Amino acid sequence: MRFILRRIAFYAVALFIAISINFLIPRLMTGDPVQLMFARFQGRMTVEALDSLKETFGFVQGPLLEQYITYLRNLSQGNLGLSVAHFPEPVTDVLRIGLAWTLRLIGLATIISFAYGTLLGIMAAWRRGKFVDSVILPITSLLGAFPYFFLAMLVLYAFALGLGWFPLGHAANINIRQDWGSTEYVLSVIHHMMLPAFTIIATSIGGWMLGMRNNMIGVLAEDYITMAQAKGLSNRRIMFSYAARNAILPSITGFAMSLGFVLGGALLTEIVFSYPGMGYILLNAVNTRDYPVMQGTFLFITIAVLAANLLADIGYVFLDPRVRA
Amino acid sequence: MEQSQVLAPTTPAQRRASSWLRVPGWLKSILRNRKATIGLAILLFFVLVAIFAPVIAPTRDPMRMVGRPHDPPSAEHILGTTRQGQDIFTQLVHGTRVTLVVGFATGTVIILIAIVVGVTAGYLGGWVDDMMSMLMNIVLILPGLPLIIVVAGWLDRPGPLTIVLVLSAISWAWGARVLRAQTLTLRNSDFVLAARVVGEPSWRIIFSEILPNLTSLVVSSWIGAVLYVVLTEAALEFIGLGNPNIVTWGTILYWAQNNAALLTRSWWTFIPPGVCIALLGFSLTLINYGIDEITNPRLRADEGAKE
């Protein structure tokens, strides 16, 4: 319990820092981007709307501290301002839809990647120098150093344009009404998800595999593995219940830590595939100078990463009795 | 060389010359490792291309229009032309320079910050370590790419220098964490304790006892950082957040995407720069695997399979 409380305190500090960075970025820019930002909105919205937008970002008259407090107060009420490109839709609404798409895509791809990567890592360590270790491992590791967006372009070119097996982008066929109850819609969503998910899996699976393999190799040298073998336990049991169970702990930490990276890569995938998740929204916001949405996306993503890390920590407590003490 | 050393007493100048000619130990062990050798060879190739770019593809300006737009590869333009009629081969060769310089410069800044923070935290321990570790973990957990995109969005087309600074500021934590852990182990080793008992000052212990033992870790973290920077810089430029008027592999891809390279099926505009980025990434990864295998014999694939 103390462990979890300590972690929660850590995430609270991290969140606070992220919020502060978000507050500081526009203020650290040379020139006056704030002036620039509001100048762009002139004529596109009413004076009242502009004032409320200024207040959301804490751009009120007064010292920096006062601006900061105004900004925090708005944030604590869940107010991220209004989108400029989709005026007057609140930023939170724009992002909520994007986050749902991103979580579906990344959630699925990451779980598949982690599960298969870990499993392959176990096999590679168990049979050192055999097929999985000497052929699959190097291939997946090299894919990990492959530029995400280039791989995405290549598969798009080959499988969507060339062979025509998959759609060119978007999350679902626009001719089908969005209805999660209809099989047609769900199938279309799955069909649209396959290529982007594949690129995420292909570029991230090597990391899990290599990490698990190297942990396993360390664990396999332990005395209790020799002991288990001496007792005549089946290989399968030793491999999973004795070795993998202990070797997976660092991977769980890595899993949480890497979510930020995975998310970053997935943003690029979304951009190439025009997948309507956070990455696509973020890039559109940058291109249309929709500053409120830009700022909000960073906060949303940070909160998502921190929450995922907290979940991984809770999982860790269940897996490793040592931290429960 | 060997002979001359045996036959005649050598002057200091001769000895210096021979130690210059002799292959140093670390290079020998790298050359004995196949992965590292292949990686180094590819990297060397790109470095040579970058150095001799004006000789390989003479041009006044790689952005100049020299042919018909969207021409497929031909004898005249061996990698074809862009929508703007620029020669892709020329752009690729000149783009190597910026890409390599930005990659290695940023990677070096990142590793320097990582060494300072990691070694200080690991060596001093106590509350300094607590604070620095917390900082490292926070920087590590904050999603880097979205942050860079937001900053780039506010900056409105940042140049390479800005990208170097922003990437350095948010990417040092991983290396620092690894170096801190290793410093912690070294600090409690016998030879460091011995040096402390003798009364060596801290800075001497750090520079002559700890840092030399971190070399392989520093080199592999450095290469890892360069790889990260090359991929991230290319990604940023690809999505249009760099300066599109500076020719790099990333901006060539940006223009390809911008000109609907996929839909017009002009594969020659996006495959070559992508392959270059992938090859550079491939070579850096191979070098790192090589270093890993050389310094950590337990990871070598050819040793005893457990059955």
DSSP state letters, A55-73: HHTT--SS-HHHHHHHHHH
Q: A62 with A125, same domain? A: no
Higher pLDDT: A19 or B160? It is A19
Interface touch B147/A147, C-beta < 8 Å: no
Q: A110 with A223, same domain? A: yes
Which has the minimum average pLDDT: A245-254, B56-65, B180-189? B56-65
Residue type at A322? R
Q: A51 with A192, same domain? A: no
Cis, bond preceding B212 (omega within 30 deg of 0): no
Confidence of residue B114 (pLDDT cuts 50, 70, 90): very high
Question: CA A116, CA A94: separation in Å to the nearest integer?
Answer: 34
Residue A81 inside a domain? The answer is no
- Identify the residue among B139, B142, B162 best suited for mutation to test binding to A, counting A beta carbons within 10 A and taking the highest: B142
- Tens of pLDDT, residues A10-28: 888 988 888 888 888 877 7
Question: CA A192, CA A33: separation in Å to the nearest integer?
Answer: 38
User: Which neighbouring-strand residues pair with A82?
Assistant: A90
Q: What is the pLDDT of residue A302?
A: 86
User: Which chain A residues are Cβ-neighbours of B251 within 8 angstroms?
Assistant: none
Q: A135 with A41, same domain? A: no
Q: A191 with A72, same domain? A: no
Q: What is the pLDDT of residue B44?
A: 92
Confidence of residue A45 (pLDDT cuts 50, 70, 90): low
Q: Positive or negative, the Cα torsion across B61, B67, B72, B77? A: negative
Q: What is the pLDDT of residue B6?
A: 43
The CA angle B37-B39-B43, to the nearest 5 degrees, is 115
Interface touch A283/B289, C-beta < 8 Å: no
Question: CA B109, CA B171: separation in Å to the nearest integer?
Answer: 10
- For residue B92, pLDDT over 90 is answered with no
Q: What is the pLDDT of residue B52?
A: 83
Interface touch A282/B146, C-beta < 8 Å: yes
Higher pLDDT: A7 or A66? It is A7
Query: Considering only CA atoms, which of B37, B85, B41 is closest in space to residue B61?
Result: B85
- Tens of pLDDT, residues A225-240: 888 888 888 888 888 8
User: Which chain B residues are Cβ-neighbours of A40 within 8 angstroms?
Assistant: none
Q: What is the pLDDT of residue B107?
A: 92
Model-level pTM greater than 0.90?
Answer: no
Show Cβ contacts of residue A109 under 8 Å, excluding neighbours closer than 6 positions.
Answer: A196, A197, A200, A201, A204, A266
- Identify the residue among B135, B141, B295 best suited for mutation to test binding to A, counting A beta carbons within 10 A and taking the highest: B141
- For residue A9, pLDDT over 60 is answered with yes
Residue A29 inside a domain? The answer is yes
Q: How much of chain A exceeds pLDDT 90, in percent?
A: 0
Residue A42 inside a domain? The answer is yes
Residue A88 inside a domain? The answer is no
Q: A41 with A107, same domain? A: no
Number of domains in chain A: 2
For residue A233, give its domain range.
99-324
Q: What is the pLDDT of residue B7?
A: 45
Q: What is the pLDDT of residue A166?
A: 76
- For residue B51, pLDDT over 80 is answered with yes
User: Which chain A residues are Cβ-neighbours of B262 within 8 angstroms?
Assistant: 153, 156-157, 161
Highest mean pLDDT among A135-149, B20-34, B38-52, B81-95: B38-52
Out of A61, A76, A91, a domain closes at A76
Q: A54 with A159, same domain? A: no
Q: What is the pLDDT of residue B4?
A: 42
Higher pLDDT: A183 or A15? It is A15
Q: A150 with A112, same domain? A: yes
Q: A49 with A158, same domain? A: no
Interface touch A261/B144, C-beta < 8 Å: yes
Residue A170 inside a domain? The answer is yes
Residue A242 inside a domain? The answer is yes
Whole-number average pLDDT of chain B: 80
Which ranges of B241-270 would DSSP assign to H, the alpha helix? Answer: 249-258
Cβ-based neighbour number of residue B279 at 10 Å: 15
- For residue B29, pLDDT over 80 is answered with no
Q: What are phi and psi of B264, to 5 degrees?
A: -85, 0
Mean pLDDT (whole number) for B200-229: 87
Residue A7 inside a domain? The answer is yes
**Chain-centre distance for alpha carbon A291:** 21
Q: How much of chain A exceeds pLDDT 70, in percent?
A: 84
Residue A86 inside a domain? The answer is no
Q: What is the pLDDT of residue A85?
A: 66
- For residue B232, pLDDT over 70 is answered with yes
Q: What is the pLDDT of residue B112?
A: 93
The residue count for chain A: 325
Query: Considering only CA atoms, which of B150, B106, B107, B161 is closest in space to residue B239?
Result: B150
- For residue B164, pLDDT over 60 is answered with yes
Question: CA A271, CA A199: separation in Å to the nearest integer?
Answer: 13
Q: A39 with A107, same domain? A: no
**Residue from the list A146, A218, A260 with its beta carbon closest to the beta carbon of B281:** A146
CATH of the domain at A182: 1.10.3720.10
Mean pLDDT (whole number) for A285-302: 82
Contact yes or no for B239/A268 (Cβ under 8 A): yes
Q: A61 with A131, same domain? A: no
Q: What is the pLDDT of residue A41?
A: 63
Largest CA-CA distance found in chain B, in angstroms, rounded:
75
Q: Where are the beta strands (DSSP E) in chain A?
A: none
Q: A47 with A113, same domain? A: no
What tokens does A93 get?
């609404």
